[in-house]
Homo-oligomer: A and B are copies of this chain.
């Protein structure tokens, strides 16, 4: 089956070492724009075991206070100068409190967790095409780095404010297509419309797609007859596969986003 052949071209997930729970010290916590922030935290051990891969995620806990109770999942965004960086958007209880973290504060991190994006087999001559919606950009950021500037990026958000790091992204991609709901940056409308337009004169099978963003966007991307991977978001309790809370519907029944995902083959996921 094709799915399997794509998978086999990928990083072998069986060799990924178990994740670790570690404490980290906040180095910086800066506002990027609008409701987007970057948190930088250095593991107290000084290193990561194992090194995170694009598409993986970490569970982040503010402290051991019981409200919020559970850790929250955040994509591996990047590591710089020994610090783990997380790009996050304020949406609720935990992210609101994250904003208040300051240099020297301690956080507790579990990870890296989950399966990374399978990289295209380099001999295969498939053009990588990345689609990101909203904070989904965090997930594909290290992927773009791994793809070494070869990818075309389609990036959509609510407004200019919510399209972050665009200058940097420009330099990391072969083409950058922006879209915003209010038209304040790039195309006015859904990023998937830009994508559909892009394929008007192209052969879909020449491409391999990577997508991360809200469910609506993922559903649209998966409905376009393309091949590739999506990274899905589902609420998580444990992040390590023991609670079965993060179930996502697939052709072969419910799968755990944290363990069998968060990266799934586009063909696998069933959207309702």
Contacts and interface: CB of A to CB of B under 8 A. Distances in A.
Interface of A: 65-67, 97, 102
Q: Which 6 A-B pairs have the closest CB atoms?
A: A67-B67, A66-B67, A65-B67, A65-B65, A102-B102, A65-B97
Nearest to A104: B102
Nearest to A106: B100
Question: How many identical chains are in the complex?
Answer: 2
A102 B66 CA distance: 21
A66 B67 CA distance: 6
Contacts of A97: 65
A66 B65 CA distance: 9
6 contacts: A65-B65, A65-B67, A65-B97, A66-B67, A67-B67, A102-B102
Contacts of A67: 65-67
Contacts of A102: 102
A81 to B, nearest CB: 24
A67 B97 CA distance: 14
A56 to B, nearest CB: 29
A82 B85 CA distance: 40
A129 to B, nearest CB: 43
Contacts of A66: 67
A256 B160 CA distance: 57
Nearest to A105: B100
Nearest to A62: B65
A65 B66 CA distance: 9
A71 to B, nearest CB: 15
A108 to B, nearest CB: 15
A97 B62 CA distance: 13
Nearest to A68: B65
Contacts of A65: 65, 67, 97
A64 to B, nearest CB: 10
Nearest to A102: B102
